[in-house]
Structure 1
Amino acid sequence: MAFLYLTVAVIAEVLATAALKASNGFTELVPIIFTVLGYAIALFFLGLTFKTIPMGLAYAMWSAAGIVLISCVGWIVFKQNLDLPALIGLVFIVLGIVIINIFSESTEL
């Protein structure tokens, strides 16, 4: 269940961050509501994740997955450029998540 909670936390955080961008500096009401609700949901499910996955590892996976996914949302939805150094950095972030999940005994439930 912990990884399901973590997945929900990541998705909620990415949606909230996209809504934050869409809020135009907190001037648009509907995106502000989605931002606040999204972050609340993300933190709630991240807290549930902490019950079984060590805090440092859960937070690392949450933030890393969020960085990669929100970068993709920025590129696709908001037409923001990702140059080669940015893409290489994102690949390293993904590799970090893979290494944690495959090789770390700390994440075994």
Structure 2
Amino acid sequence: MSAYLLLAVSIVSEVFATSMLKVANGFKNLLPTLAVIVGYGVSFYLLSISLKTIPIGIAYAIWAGVATALTALVGMIVYKEKFNRKKLTGFIFILSGVILLNVNGGH
């Protein structure tokens, strides 16, 4: 399987786990807490496998940047958090940074 596909699944798993943190309510709700543990476990495992092929700086920049942006989107869509210019600017900076690292710092 492609390292970048593994990285993408790792990102989705991390976003899922982070989203479940809110529902876990300080680890007081069992099923969401288990979802957090499994989600992060899968995420870190797949991230570690992708690092066999993708340089760590590139992989982590993609993982952290894309996961941060997607988690913010989940917050806005699922948890009805507000969207404003500052968040839009943050998305632009995050995605620009990930793109720049991939263009200039590739294999």
Q: Shorter-chain TM-score: what band? A: over 0.9
Which aligned runs of 4 or more in structure 1 are off by greater than 6 angstroms? none
1:18-33 equivalent positions in 2, closer than 5 A: 18-33=19-34
Quick check: 1:71 aligned with 2:77? no
- Alignment size in residue pairs: 106
Identity %: 37
Normalization by structure 2: what TM-score? 0.92
1:43-82 equivalent positions in 2, closer than 5 A: 43-82=44-83
Unaligned runs of 5+ in 2: none
Is the deviation greater in 72-81 or in 91-100? Answer: 91-100
**C-alpha separation between the residues in 1 aligned to 2:100 and 2:61?**
12
Normalization by structure 1: what TM-score? 0.91
CA RMSD of aligned residues (A): 1.2
Write the deviation string for residues 65-105 of structure 1: whole angstroms up to 9, x where unpaired: 0000000000000111132112111111112222233x235
Unaligned runs of 5+ in 1: none
